[in-house]
Structure 1
Amino acid sequence: MNLSLHEKCALIGGGSEGIGLAIAYELALLGASCILVARHEDRLRQAVVQLDTAVGQQHTFLVVDYQDTESTDRAITALVEKHPIHIVINNSGGPPPGQITEAIASDFLKAFEQHLISSQVIAQTVLPSMKAAGYGRIINVVSTSVRVPLAGLGVSNTIRGAVASWAKTWSNEVAKYGITVNNILPGATKTGRLNALIEKRAKAANTTVERIVESMTGEIPAQRFAKPEEIAAVAAFLASPAAAYVNGTSIPVDGGKIGAI
């Protein structure tokens, strides 16, 4: 099975920590050169030096805020002029939790800019270089809420569904160029965002973090949360030549929690 990403270049959103950094780590091990994207330069500098360089990979980073569409467009356009991109990992921190009945219009607009519009801008910018190479992988780290909406995440549920539909449409249009577009649907994964959600839920219920964790893991057949590297392993496969005929899919990585075939 050909998993080699030697001489491939990957653009990885949210690459300074959590799932994004775990994906960068795996892609680098397969030989890819990685460009990490996030808002905080200090975290990016710390992250990029952790990546493997055994086969001459050259890693760098880009300070960008996906909520600012215009600056994202300018930054990615300038980047692609120097670095043809073969792999894009669309990954960004989720919208704040809250009931959909309490969400205001600007909450949706902000999330739409960050998650869908930024993905569209990036995909359009890298498309010519992917076509020229006859190789492209666009992988969106979304959520199991694409299949089953999650309680207390009204805005997130809405936007994640939009991203999944966007990705399926893209997959139909670009497959003939050797480009695939797929979604990964992580379940509850050990990240800073999950910790924050648990703490908020515990506070709202006037209970302990431990009780919330016990309740949440009790609903997962695997009886535990995912590790970031377990999500990253699926992303690495989808990015590889071996996954050339996997296209337009949404793959849950959730320990079996989604109760459907």
Structure 2
Amino acid sequence: MNLELKNTYALVCGSTQGIGKQTAITLANEGVNITLLARNENSLKETLKKLPEGNHNYIVADFSKPEEVELKVNEFITNNHGFHILINNTGGPPSGQIIEATAEQFYRAFNMHLICSHLLAQACLPFMKLEGFGRIINVISTSVKEPIPGLGVSNTIRNAVGNWSKTMSFELAPFGITVNNVLPGFTATSRLDEIVGIKAKKESKTIESMEEEMKQYVPAKRFGKPEETAAAIAFLASKKAGYINGINLPVDGGRTKSL
């Protein structure tokens, strides 16, 4: 399928590993010009080497510092170009029971996930409106549909992002801009490795046995691949998906039990 994305521009956040990195590669293979955004410049340079030929670039910014993210992205847009596609993606908050979470953990997660996403959307919108085409895709979690035990702060913040996104989808649709959420399930990334490790230690099990146990929760009986989530993101970013707006799309092998 021709996704009609050649010569568009995408800002892909958290793009030096996992789903973010694979999304950058997948979009670049569709002819999209990619700007990577993450805090580690060396990792950004290494990821840049993996992209096919195109007008690719990167921005160094730390999501724990929303003002820095806003400043760096606005500077880039002023000096280079705007973006048709914004992929909001960053690592999830640490695991833990919600009753034990500190106020600081909530503030930090709120800033990294919701405030940064909001500032990035505001920075990208003028160009999207001018072009009459825009895609904002937020990579969040299946916890938007079903809270995940042991991820108290994440469950809370991910739902805040989900409702922010839905509200914005109403406001931006008249401009040819869609806003959607992709909800990865158990996907083979460093984030999943962390969750498996914590669960294994808590239940005094090996990593291998915990992985097998978690796979049994999934009808597909396996963990997802970053490429599978990236493919869903690429479709939502395309012109083919112009009438899909304001949705939560699980990419979880059927694990989420709710509709």
Task: Give TM-score scaled by structure 1 length.
Answer: 0.97
Give the structure 2 partner of residue 28 of structure 1: 28
Which sits farther off after the overlay, 7-16 or 75-84?
A: 75-84
Q: 5+ residue gaps in structure 1?
A: none
Q: Supply the distance in 2 between the matched residues of 1:246 and 1:2 (Cα, whole angstroms).
A: 17
Superposition map of 1:101-112 within 5 A = 101-112=99-110
2:127 aligned to which of 109, 117, 129: 129
1:75 maps to amino acid: K
Other structure's SS at 1:89 match:
strand
Q: Supply the distance in 2 between the matched residues of 1:258 and 1:185 (Cα, whole angstroms).
A: 10
Q: Supply the distance in 1 between the matched residues of 2:74 and 2:57 (Cα, whole angstroms).
A: 16
Deviations 1:177-201 (CA, angstroms, capped at 9, x unpaired): 0000000000010001111111111
Q: Supply the distance in 1 between the matched residues of 2:6 and 2:153 (Cα, whole angstroms).
A: 39
Offset, 1:120: 0.5
Other structure's SS at 1:222 match:
coil
Superposition map of 1:15-164 within 5 A = 15-53=15-53, 57-81=54-78, 82-164=80-162
Aligned structure 1 segments of 4 or more residues deviating by more than 2 angstroms: none
Give the superposed CA RMSD: 0.8
Give the structure 2 partner of residue 225 of structure 1: 223
Offset, 1:148: 0.2
Size of the alignment, in residue pairs? 258
Other structure's SS at 2:180 match:
strand
1:204 aligned to which of 202, 205, 212: 202
**Contact 1:2/1:240, CA 8 A, preserved across alignment:** no
1:96 maps to amino acid: P
Identity across matched positions, percent: 48
Q: Supply the distance in 1 between the matched residues of 2:117 and 2:194 (Cα, whole angstroms).
A: 25
2:168 maps to amino acid: W
**Contact 2:145/2:258, CA 8 A, preserved across alignment:** no
Q: Supply the distance in 2 between the matched residues of 1:110 and 1:241 (Cα, whole angstroms).
A: 35
Q: Supply the distance in 1 between the matched residues of 2:70 and 2:217 (Cα, whole angstroms).
A: 41
**Contact 1:198/1:209, CA 8 A, preserved across alignment:** yes
Q: 5+ residue gaps in structure 2?
A: none
2:219 maps to amino acid: P
